[in-house]
């Protein structure tokens, strides 16, 4: 079936004016001011008048298998379901393991990603977890990247955190080096997704890699950079002085921010005001991951669960509350992660790009319609396609 979206205000993410967009065979076929419907074909027409059309969102850090156990076995969070993502406009996801690399393993992560693909969205994975040495499928990070199609990088490797394996900076640099070379040989991103704790070392390991090796900062993406004002400031300096990329986590509950934690939308505004390029910032949800709270001695207090729907919530808040312009607010979930992950058909509305689109109400910016690879997933804010066990 062809799908024709009529009269939407298109943000590609740059504003393109009022346009019609024609989809077919999972791709965007044409964008023009007036595309006639052809009676000879089966054409589904969607009314885009009074709505804004965005590229489908990329979430580069989701615990698709669930995560946690940081409050013991009963706190292991459940696997994600398809609509947990599509209702939030996410059409491309990168799955990862976190603290638990034992009961959550790489074989299961790969199978889950393939299952999500069969259900209709695009899914990739990182090899590894918090632990060093890195736990892989084939035995090495490089081999996983070269031999397994879904593996686009390594992570989430934990540093500056009481839950990490406390690797040396040289061990960390070797992981980044192996991931980069594996990416080069496989034509993939070779991106290391890095869990940032709130320890005093902050981004020093990443600075070591950039300053003491030949590896560019585009092979590293430190996440949770907004977990504290102190870390956010270090991230701003890292981005400005060394050209590094930084990722803001959206899953924090804005009503219950911990100590000096910063909302992702606020962090985006602050970074832009301090001169960080809007091409160096990404958002990710940490969706379905456990959100443990520890006291100053590292004792577990309580646990929450990350939500993928928080990704667009923070984009929307950036526009409505922080007064960030729409195109700039969209880049952390569209063009920026697509570029870092080397996904050339994602993150933009243009002919021959994948048919991943999000239609939102012009006034409220609430999600109305979500299309993934040309297939209708959400309409009028409701899931019209559900996962296998939903």
User: How does DSSP assign 61-85, residue by residue?
Assistant: EE-TT--B-BTBGGGBPPPP-HHHH
Distance CA 219, CA 177 (A): 9
Q: Cα–Cα distances in Å, from 18 out to 21, 53, 354?
A: 10, 10, 20
Dump strand ranges (E) for the chain. 2-11, 15-24, 27-32, 43-47, 51-55, 57-62, 90-95, 122-127, 151-159, 191-196, 220-223, 246-249, 281-284, 290-294, 300-305, 357-361, 367-372, 375-379, 382-383
Single out the catalytic residue among 286, 317, 354, 356: 286
Distance CA 258, CA 106 (A): 31
290-294/281-284 β-pairing = unpaired
Per the CB < 8 A criterion, the answer to whether 19 and 54 are in contact is no
β-strand partners of 94: 124
342-368: buried (b, 16+ CB within 10 Å) or exposed (e) per residue? bbebbbbbeeebbbbbbbbeeeebebb
Per the CB < 8 A criterion, the answer to whether 189 and 341 are in contact is yes
Q: Which residues contact 182 (CB under 8 A, 6 or more apart)?
A: 141, 142, 143, 144, 145, 146, 188, 190
Residue 348: HSE in the Cβ half-sphere, 13 Å Cα cutoff: 14
- The number of beta carbons lying within 10 Å of the beta carbon of residue 297 is 6
Q: Which residues contact 40 (CB under 8 A, 6 or more apart)?
A: none
Residue 192: HSE in the Cβ half-sphere, 13 Å Cα cutoff: 32
Is residue 253 among the annotated active site residues? no
User: What is the crossing angle of helices 169-186 and 204-212, to 10°?
Assistant: 60
Active-site amino acid positions: 286
């Amino acid at each position: 079936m062809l799908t024709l979206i009529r009269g939407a205000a298109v943000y590609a993410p740059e504003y393109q004016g009022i346009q019609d967009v024609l989809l077919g065979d999972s791709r965007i076929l044409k964008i023009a001011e007036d595309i006639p419907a052809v009676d000879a074909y089966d054409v589904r027409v969607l009314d885009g008048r009074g709505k804004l059309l965005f590229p489908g969102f990329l979430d580069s850090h989701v615990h698709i298998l669930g995560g946690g156990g940081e409050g013991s076995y009963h706190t292991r969070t459940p696997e994600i379901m398809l609509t947990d993502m599509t209702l939030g406009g996410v059409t491309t996801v990168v799955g990862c393991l976190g603290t638990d690399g034992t009961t959550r393993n790489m074989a299961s992560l790969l199978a889950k990603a393939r299952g999500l693909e069969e259900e209709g969205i695009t899914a990739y994975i990182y090899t590894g977890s918090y632990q060093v040495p890195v736990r892989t499928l084939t035995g090495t990070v490089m081999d996983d990247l070269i031999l397994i199609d879904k593996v686009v990088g390594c992570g989430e490797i934990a540093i500056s955190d009481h839950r990490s394996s406390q690797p040396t900076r040289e061990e960390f640099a070797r992981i980044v080096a192996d991931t980069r070379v594996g990416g080069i040989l496989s034509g993939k991103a070779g991106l290391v997704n890095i869990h940032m704790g709130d320890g005093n070392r902050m981004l020093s390991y990443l600075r070591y890699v950039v300053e003491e090796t030949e590896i560019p900062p585009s092979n590293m993406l430190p996440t949770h950079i907004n977990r504290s004002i102190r870390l956010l400031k270090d991230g701003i300096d890292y981005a400005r002085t060394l050209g590094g990329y930084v990722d803001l986590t959206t899953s924090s509950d804005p009503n219950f921010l911990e100590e000096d934690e910063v909302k992702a939308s606020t962090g985006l505004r602050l970074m832009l005001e301090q001169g960080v390029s809007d091409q160096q910032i990404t958002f990710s949800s940490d969706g379905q991951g456990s959100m443990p709270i520890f006291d100053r001695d590292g004792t577990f207090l309580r646990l929450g669960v990350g939500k993928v729907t928080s990704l667009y919530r923070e984009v929307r808040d950036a526009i409505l509350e922080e007064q960030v312009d729409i195109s700039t607010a969209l880049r952390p979930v569209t063009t920026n992660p697509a570029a870092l992950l080397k996904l050339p058909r994602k993150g933009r509305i243009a002919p021959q790009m994948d048919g991943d689109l999000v239609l939102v109400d012009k006034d409220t910016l609430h999600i109305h319609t979500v299309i993934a690879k040309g297939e209708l997933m959400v309409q009028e804010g409701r899931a019209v396609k559900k996962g296998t066990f939903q």
